[in-house]
């Protein structure tokens, strides 16, 4: 777990700073072009994944099937789907942007990542064998390689097409490193099974559908912005989204730390589980208020220092969209409730409602309000998914009530918690007086 978390942190830091430098160099228009096509690539990459990650890791962990057969069958399934997906991305961009040959070239270069991603299936073997350090090292090396490539491009004033290819470099490197590590451990003996392929697909399609829905409502705004406005707007909006999500690691770490406690509470006492879940919602929301208010108040300087003067047009969108990350974290906590109550099926219902909301609001608001409309649509969409839907569905209403109570800080501080805060405050005041 430590290796996986460490790898993610390093990758996130590298990715952010290199992306920041790239965005400043390219400017909103070119940066928007790359991210517009990347939205299509993300969607079809989700299709290519086939939802296999959870299932392949499970099969490897249980050891009921031949590991080598599981891995290579998964790779073949994903590669065949990747070929279709690559053609689909290029065809879609060619149709929707037929008057812009540059956009088609960008699509071709970015789509290479879809083909390469089929071979990151090797990662699942290492995770299934609890060898996460290998995947973390491979990820960091790949990101460093991609970062060095982009730094070289920045130093040599490269054309936008070279930056478009950069989006595929890390996937190519990651897949190559993982394949070499796997072959070193197991040899090169490709083996596939139609029977196993059918079994894997039967188990994974639920995950694929939910993943597709999630990608759709998270990326559809960028596609619609380009179609209704321009790539310049996409660039500004992407910058706002990136800043809004900067603090995501903090609530994620919070949720990872409290989840085992919540699961234990659920086994011991339903009342205690609800109490701790309500307190966790309150904690997440308090963190979100602090972050969002801070970013909103200093939005001008945040954008100016990170992205430069050219991106100041994203300020209004940032003030709105910055609040969505906290709501997303609330949704992650709700998954703990759904898991303990065996109500996981409602996740897809929530996501479908969010997708419909996002498409409708973007269609109505973007032509009238530009990126502000997209930001409002995003905030409302995540509110519908993670707050409104749990309240609207009878079977999940308890979670909805706990969310509202937590956000309003109702029944959060029990006597024990109040005493802890009181003692802590007295200690702090005592130290200040001594100074």
Tens of pLDDT, residues 370-419: 999 999 999 999 999 999 999 999 888 888 898 998 888 887 766 555 55
Residue 162 above 70 pLDDT?
Answer: yes
Residue 103 above 70 pLDDT?
Answer: yes
**How far is Cα 400 from Cα 386, in angstroms, rounded to an integer?**
9
Identify whether the C-beta of residue 365 lies closer than 8 Å to the C-beta of residue 328.
no
Q: Is residue 29 part of a domain?
A: yes
3-state SS assignment for residue 328: helix
Q: Please tell me whether residues 187 and 270 are part of one structural domain.
A: no
Q: What is the pLDDT of residue 395?
A: 87
Mean pLDDT calculated for residue range 16-26? 85
Q: Where does residue 368 rank: exposed (0-12), middle (13-18), buried (19+ CB within 10 A)?
A: exposed
Cβ-based neighbours of 307, under 8 Å, separated by 6 or more: 20, 23, 24, 239, 314
Mean pLDDT calculated for residue range 360-365? 94
Write out 100-160 in H/E/C secondary structure: CHHHHHHHHHHHHHHHHHHHHHHHHHHHHCCCHHHHHHHHHHHHHHHHHHHHHHHHCCCCH
What's 248's DSSP letter?
G
Identify whether the C-beta of residue 399 lies closer than 8 Å to the C-beta of residue 281.
no
Q: How far is CA 316 from CA 29, 147, 373, 376, in A?
A: 18, 30, 10, 10
Q: Is residue 115 part of a domain?
A: yes
**How far is Cα 388 from Cα 156, in angstroms, rounded to an integer?**
50
Q: Please tell me whether residues 255 and 400 are part of one structural domain.
A: yes
Q: How far is CA 12 from CA 16, 143, 218, in A?
A: 6, 9, 19
Backbone phi and psi for residue 413, each to the nearest 5 degrees, phi listed first: -95, 105
Residue ending a domain, choose from 164, 192, 220: 192
Q: What is the pLDDT of residue 347?
A: 79
**How far is Cα 267 from Cα 269, in angstroms, rounded to an integer?**
6
pLDDT tens digits, one per residue of 219-259: 888 889 988 988 899 999 999 998 888 877 777 767 766 77
**How far is Cα 220 from Cα 313, in angstroms, rounded to an integer?**
21
Q: Please tell me whether residues 72 and 182 are part of one structural domain.
A: yes
CB atoms within 10 A of CB 88: 16
Q: What is the pLDDT of residue 414?
A: 62
Q: What is the pLDDT of residue 432?
A: 55
**How far is Cα 91 from Cα 74, in angstroms, rounded to an integer?**
26
99 or 358, higher pLDDT: 358
Mean pLDDT calculated for residue range 147-164? 88
Q: Please tell me whether residues 43 and 170 are part of one structural domain.
A: yes
Mean pLDDT calculated for residue range 107-131? 84
Q: Please tell me whether residues 160 and 271 are part of one structural domain.
A: no
Residue 5 above 60 pLDDT?
Answer: no
Sign of CA dihedral 390, 391, 393, 398: positive
**How far is Cα 78 from Cα 204, in angstroms, rounded to an integer?**
12
Q: Where does residue 416 rank: exposed (0-12), middle (13-18), buried (19+ CB within 10 A)?
A: exposed
**How far is Cα 106 from Cα 43, in angstroms, rounded to an integer?**
16
Q: Is residue 89 part of a domain?
A: yes
Q: Please tell me whether residues 254 and 173 are part of one structural domain.
A: no
Q: Please tell me whether residues 345 and 424 are part of one structural domain.
A: yes
Mean pLDDT calculated for residue range 153-171? 88
Q: Is residue 202 part of a domain?
A: no
Q: Please tell me whether residues 143 and 266 are part of one structural domain.
A: no
Residue 163 above 50 pLDDT?
Answer: yes
CB atoms within 10 A of CB 242: 19
Distance in angstroms between the alpha carbons of the first and the last residue of the chain: 42
Mean pLDDT calculated for residue range 114-118? 89
Q: Where does residue 332 rank: exposed (0-12), middle (13-18), buried (19+ CB within 10 A)?
A: middle
3-state SS assignment for residue 404: helix
Query: How many Cα atoms occupy the beta-carbon half-sphere of 382 within 13 Å?
Result: 20
Q: Is residue 416 part of a domain?
A: yes
Sign of CA dihedral 365, 369, 373, 376: negative
Q: Please tell me whether residues 357 and 236 are part of one structural domain.
A: yes
Task: Please tell me which of 11-15, 55-59, 93-97 the model is most confident about, judged by mean pLDDT.
Answer: 93-97
Report helix angle 299-306 to 270-297, nearest 10. 80
Identify whether the C-beta of residue 248 lies closer than 8 Å to the C-beta of residue 291.
no
Using alpha carbons, select from 149, 113, 148, 122 the residue that is nearest to residue 52: 122
Q: Which helix (H) or strand (E) holds 10?
A: helix 2-49
Residue ending a domain, choose from 192, 221, 245: 192
Strands (DSSP E) contained in 286-340 are none
Q: Is residue 37 part of a domain?
A: yes
Q: Please tell me whether residues 248 and 350 are part of one structural domain.
A: yes
**How far is Cα 56 from Cα 71, in angstroms, rounded to an integer?**
7
Backbone phi and psi for residue 410, each to the nearest 5 degrees, phi listed first: -90, 135
Residue ending a domain, choose from 192, 222, 248: 192
Q: What average pLDDT is seen over the chain?
A: 83
Q: Please tell me whether residues 137 and 257 are part of one structural domain.
A: no
62 or 288, higher pLDDT: 288
Q: Please tell me whether residues 140 and 276 are part of one structural domain.
A: no
Q: Is residue 277 part of a domain?
A: yes
Task: Give the range of the structural domain holding residue 29, as residue numbers without chain letter.
Answer: 1-192
**How far is Cα 86 from Cα 348, in angstroms, rounded to an integer?**
26
CB atoms within 10 A of CB 17: 12
The pair of three-digit structure tokens given for residue 101, joined into one six-digit string: 């040959």
**How far is Cα 403 from Cα 411, in angstroms, rounded to an integer?**
12
Counted domains in the chain: 2
Q: Is residue 200 part of a domain?
A: no
């Amino acid at each position: 777990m430590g290796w996986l978390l460490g790898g993610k942190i390093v990758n996130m830091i590298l990715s952010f700073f290199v992306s920041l430098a790239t965005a400043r160099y390219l400017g909103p228009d070119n940066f928007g072009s790359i991210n517009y096509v990347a939205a299509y690539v993300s969607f079809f990459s989700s299709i290519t994944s086939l939802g296999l990650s959870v299932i392949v890791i499970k099969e490897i962990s249980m050891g009921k099937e031949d590991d080598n057969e599981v891995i290579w069958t998964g790779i073949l399934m994903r590669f065949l789907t990747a070929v279709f997906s690559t053609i689909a991305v290029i065809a879609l961009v060619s149709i929707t942007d037929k008057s812009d040959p540059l956009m088609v070239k960008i699509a071709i270069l970015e789509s290479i990542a879809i083909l390469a991603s089929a071979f990151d299936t090797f990662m699942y073997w290492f995770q299934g064998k609890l060898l996460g350090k290998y995947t973390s090292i491979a990820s960091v090396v790949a990101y460093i390689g991609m970062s060095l490539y982009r730094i070289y491009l920045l130093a040599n004033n490269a054309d936008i097409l070279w930056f478009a290819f950069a989006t595929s470099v890390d996937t190519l490197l990651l897949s190559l490193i993982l394949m070499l590590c796997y072959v070193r451990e197991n040899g090169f003996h490709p083996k596939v099974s139609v029977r196993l392929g059918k079994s894997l697909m039967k188990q994974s399609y639920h995950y694929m559908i939910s993943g597709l829905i999630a990608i759709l409502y998270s990326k559809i705004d960028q596609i619609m912005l380009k179609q209704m406005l321009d790539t310049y707007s996409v660039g500004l909006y992407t910058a706002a989204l990136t800043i809004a999500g900067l603090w995501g690691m903090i609530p994620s770490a919070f949720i990872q730390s409290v989840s085992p406690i919540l699961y234990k509470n659920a086994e011991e006492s339903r009342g205690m589980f609800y109490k701790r879940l309500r307190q966790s919602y309150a904690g997440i929301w308090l963190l979100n208020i602090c972050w969002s208010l801070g970013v909103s108040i200093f939005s001008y300087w945040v954008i100016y220092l990170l992205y430069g003067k050219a991106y100041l047009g994203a300020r209004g969108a940032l003030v709105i969209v910055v609040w969505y990350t906290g709501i997303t974290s609330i949704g992650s906590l709700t998954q703990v409730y759904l898991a303990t109550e065996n109500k996981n099926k409602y996740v897809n219902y929530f996501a479908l409602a969010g997708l419909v909301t996002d498409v409708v609001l973007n269609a109505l608001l973007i032509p009238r309000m530009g990126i502000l409309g997209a930001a409002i649509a995003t905030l409302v969409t995540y509110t519908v998914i993670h707050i409104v839907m749990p309240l609207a569905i009878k079977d999940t209403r308890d979670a909805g009530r706990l969310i509202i109570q937590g956000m309003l800080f109702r029944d959060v501080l029990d006597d024990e918690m109040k005493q802890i805060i009181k003692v802590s405050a007295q200690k702090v005041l005592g130290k200040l007086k001594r100074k």
